[in-house]
Amino acid sequence: MSENEVNTRSASRPGGRAARIQAAVYAAVARLRAEKGDEGLSVHAIAQEAAVNPTTIYRRWGSLSQLLSDIALQKLLPDSEPEDTGNMHEDFSRWLEEYVDELATETGRKLLSEIAAAESDEYRVRCQRRHVEQIEAIRQRAIQRGEIPPGTERVMDELIAPIIYRILFSHTLPDFTWASVLLAKLLRV
């Protein structure tokens, strides 16, 4: 069995070695950030704090940037499906409110920046995929109810993109009221 197969099996087994290492490394990053800020972050310092070998971090994540992007992605993207209210507009509205509340903060800005700065496209692709899954869940429920939702690409272009742009590049973080105007235009309400 190859090392990759062992890592895949461990990662899929709750409480396996890979899960314990990931939890220890994530916790080490959180402790070091709390104590020293990002200036205190290095692969060596994280490995020492997590009681793992630095090569374990390099083998699993490749670099400090990739590790921070992985942590950011885990914090930013919900695992649960969007709430089903029985109405497309309300489903989008509740999802959007949660989305903006999570991302439109200084912490959200920092986490998005870490994903955008990752050396590999993996984290950006995973982030985009999760956005699409969330939007598709709302769209498919709307279609089943006989509603006519906008296409996923249109939602990404007219709702998500302006929010992300404002979070990353504007001095003013978006709020739900501002994002609701975008949603109303998108849904033509």
Q: What is the pLDDT of residue 78?
A: 62
Residues 120/62, Cβ–Cβ less than 8 Å = yes
Q: Please tell me the distance from the alpha carbon of residue 167 to that of residue 90, in angstroms, as a whole number.
A: 24
Q: Hey, how many other C-beta atoms are within 10 angstroms of the C-beta on 46?
A: 25
Which pLDDT tens digit goes with each residue over 45-80?
999 999 999 989 988 888 888 788 778 777 766 667
Q: What is the pLDDT of residue 2?
A: 43
Q: Please tell me the distance from the alpha carbon of residue 156 to that of residue 180, in angstroms, as a whole number.
A: 15
Q: Where is average pLDDT lowest: 3-12, 69-78, 95-104?
A: 3-12
What crossing angle do the helices spanning 122-144 and 106-116 adopt, rounded to 10°? Answer: 120
**Amino acid at site 12:** S
Residues 65/119, Cβ–Cβ less than 8 Å = yes
Which pLDDT tens digit goes with each residue over 116-175?
888 888 888 888 888 899 999 999 999 999 999 999 999 999 999 999 999 999 999 999
Q: Please tell me the distance from the alpha carbon of residue 16 to that of residue 111, in angstroms, as a whole number.
A: 27
**Amino acid at site 65:** S
- Residue 128 CA, distance from chain mean position: 9
Q: What is the pLDDT of residue 15?
A: 60
43 band by pLDDT with thresholds 50, 70 and 90: very high
Distances from the Cα of 131 to the Cαs of 89, 95, 123, 124, 135, in angstroms? 17, 11, 12, 11, 6
Q: What is the pLDDT of residue 111?
A: 82
Q: Please tell me the distance from the alpha carbon of residue 152 to that of residue 140, in angstroms, as a whole number.
A: 11
Q: Please tell me the distance from the alpha carbon of residue 165 to that of residue 154, in angstroms, as a whole number.
A: 16
